[in-house]
Amino acid sequence: MPGIELHSGWLDDVAAIAISGGSPITLAVCQDLHGVQQAREWLQSAIPSLTEAHVNEVPASSLQARLQTHPSLECRTVWCVYDAAEGSSEELQARWRELNLLRDWLTDTLRSHEPRASLVFLTTVTRMPEISRHAPDLLAVAQVITVSEDSFAVDPSDTSMVDSFRRGCIELEARYGMSTSELVRRLLDREPTGVPEPDLSRWRSLSEALREVLE
């Protein structure tokens, strides 16, 4: 699968998915912490301009409490976790292990909000290997979008990360009766896939991240 380019991976993609009502959890993978800050500022202005939606920024440590106590709003809420990639390796490990345990609770809670809420974690390319090791279950259900110039790819030697992303593909393969390689072939040949959005968007992102593994 050399040279595959399946997902543009810009901030407008993050905003569109966050407000689409599809995948409730998105990881926006930025080049560095400066890119995280730019994404943070851009989402604050872009999302309300696209639809009737409100962006609430929240540190990871307060996420569960805020989701539990936040009253229903008249418009869709996008929760932006701005410090998801900050801190030492020990802090990152503790943060993402806790988030991993909260996967089902986060998904159910976001979908139960009326109107539905969504969650965007702002991360960086350099912290993704650590994040994937400590939160494989969360990444298996999340939409991962690269918003840096260097498209994020899973290191084939990082077995825990490969397994995490493969789990997401396996789920979609079973749902639509098609392998990931076949999906990529159809996309490259501009053939119909029969996969609706947002599953198609999520599957494209997973396949792009696994491109060095699937070659």
User: DSSP string spanning 65-90?
Assistant: HHHHHPPP-SSEEEEEETTTT-S-HH
Average pLDDT over residues 111-117: 79
Whether the Cβ atoms of residue 151 and residue 9 lie closer than 8 Å to each other = yes
Integer-rounded Cα Rg, in Å, for the chain is: 16
173 burial via Cβ count (<10 Å: 0-12, 13-18, 19+)? middle
pLDDT of residue 210: 82
Of 41-45, 138-142, 164-168, minimum mean pLDDT range: 164-168
Domain ranges of the chain: 11-152
Distance between CA atoms of residues 19 and 118, nearest Å = 7
Please spell the DSSP secondary structure of 118-166, one letter per residue.
EEEEEEEGGGHHHHHHH-HHHHHHSEEEE-SSS-----TT-HHHHHHHH
Amino acid at 194: G
The pLDDT of residue 189 is above 80: yes
Q: Pick the more confident residue, 116 or 59.
A: 59
Task: Give the predicted TM-score (pTM) of the model.
Answer: 0.70
**Per-residue confidence (pLDDT) for residue 123, from 0 to 100:** 93
User: How far, in Å, CA of 16 to CA of 104, rounded?
Assistant: 23
- CATH number belonging to the domain at 11-152, selected among 2.60.40, 3.40.50, 3.10.450, 3.30.1360: 3.40.50
80 — pLDDT class (breaks 50, 70, 90): very high
Give 2-51 pLDDT, tens digit per residue: 322 333 456 777 777 777 756 789 999 888 888 898 888 888 887 887 77
